[in-house]
Amino acid sequence: MTITIGLPSKGRMKDDASAIFARAGMLISAIGNERSYRGRIEGVDDVEIAFLSASEISREIGNGTVDFGVTGEDLIREELSDADRRMEISARLGFGHADVVVAVPDIWLDVESMADLGDVAADFRARHGRRLAIATKYWRLTQQHFSAQHGIQLYRIVESLGATEGAPAAGQADIIVDITSTGSTLVANHLKVLSDGVILRSEACLVRAKKPEHEGNATVARIVEAVRGVL
């Protein structure tokens, strides 16, 4: 059986992932030219590398078309329903740190926690004729955090695929759910994170698609062990 590993196809994520694999004794090279989207591990025949975009890696893990992937936990949990049944985080890789957070305008002096936000959301329609609007690209994580964890049902999601931090000032939404690594973009846009508003502390992970044929497979075990060994 050939084991396929999905790796980020460009940028910091690609470099950092390759570096970890190299440290773990798995030197990755592209097949053909440098820009090729297929790769191999030197000296290993039964492993294939597929270079994919980070969000594609989550989807392919969900479909089981790749066996392993390196991607952010935020993308995995956003892309996959019932994520823990379908995948396993084999290792946290220590780079690509970012928190998915609930942030509200700084000037909402009365809102420090999700409970406060629940109060505001409950009255919002009566006061403003519409539900509280949240700008985000994280539909699933937002729903889980608001609906399942904090019992807040009454809000609407406004899809935002970029510059989400600007949505409240631009009047597109009231608050946001977005990733932040240093928090400086939030501060620059006069937003603050709620005290219990961290939905997920994400980082790049080596993720394995849960497949029955992985049971007892030596290559699978060796990859996990090698990566864990250098962290």
Taking phi first (over 0 means left), then psi (-120 to 50 degrees means alpha), and beta for anything else, what does residue 64 get? left
Least CB distance from residue 187 to other proteins, whole Å?
A: 11
d(CA 118, CA 184): 26
The correct pick among 108, 185, 193, 224 for binding other proteins (CB under 8 A) is 108
Does the protein bind other proteins through residue 159 (CB under 8 A)?
A: no
Using CB under 8 A as the binding rule, whether residue 190 contacts other proteins is answered as yes
Q: How many helices (H) and strands (E) does the chain have?
A: 9, 12
By the rule CB under 8 A, 84 interacts with other proteins = no
Within 8 A by CB and 6+ apart from 182, the residues are none
Task: Indicate which single residue of 9, 30, 105, 183 sits in contact with other proteins (rule: CB under 8 A).
Answer: 105
Residue keyed to tokens 């440290």: 23
- The verdict on 30 binding other proteins (CB under 8 A) reads no
Does position 122 bind other proteins by CB under 8 A? yes
For the chain, the straight-line distance linking the first and the last C-alpha, in angstroms and rounded, comes to: 27
Q: Does 143 bind other proteins (CB under 8 A)?
A: yes
Number of Cα atoms under 13 Å in the Cβ half of residue 161: 0
Query: Is residue 73 a contact partner of residue 202, using CB atoms and an 8 Å limit?
Result: yes
Question: Rounded distance, CA 226 to CA 102, Å?
Answer: 36
Verify binding: residue 151, other proteins, rule CB under 8 A: yes
Torsion region of 17: left, alpha or beta (phi above 0 gives left; psi -120 to 50 gives alpha): alpha
CB of 146 to other proteins, least distance (A): 7
With residues binned 3-state (H G I as helix, E B as strand, rest as coil), the percentages for the chain, rounded to 5, are 40, 30, 30
Q: Give 59 or 150: the residue with its C-beta nearer to other proteins.
A: 150
Total residues binding other proteins (CB under 8 A): 40
Asked if 178 contacts 98 with a C-beta cutoff of 8 angstroms, the reply is no
Instruction: Report if residue 131 touches other proteins, rule: CB under 8 A.
Output: yes
φ, ψ dihedrals at 105, nearest 5°: -55, 135
Rule CB under 8 A: is residue 198 a binding residue for other proteins? no
Q: Which stretch binds other proteins (CB under 8 A): 48-56, 85-93, 145-153, 221-229?
A: 145-153
Among 36, 139, 213, 229, binds other proteins (CB under 8 A): 139
CB of 166 to other proteins, least distance (A): 11
Could you say which of 9, 95, 97, 119 contacts other proteins (CB under 8 A)? 119
Residues of the shown chain interacting with other proteins in the complex, contacts defined by CB under 8 A:
81, 105-110, 112, 115-116, 118-120, 122, 125, 127-128, 130-131, 139-140, 142-143, 146-148, 150-151, 153-157, 168-171, 174, 190, 195
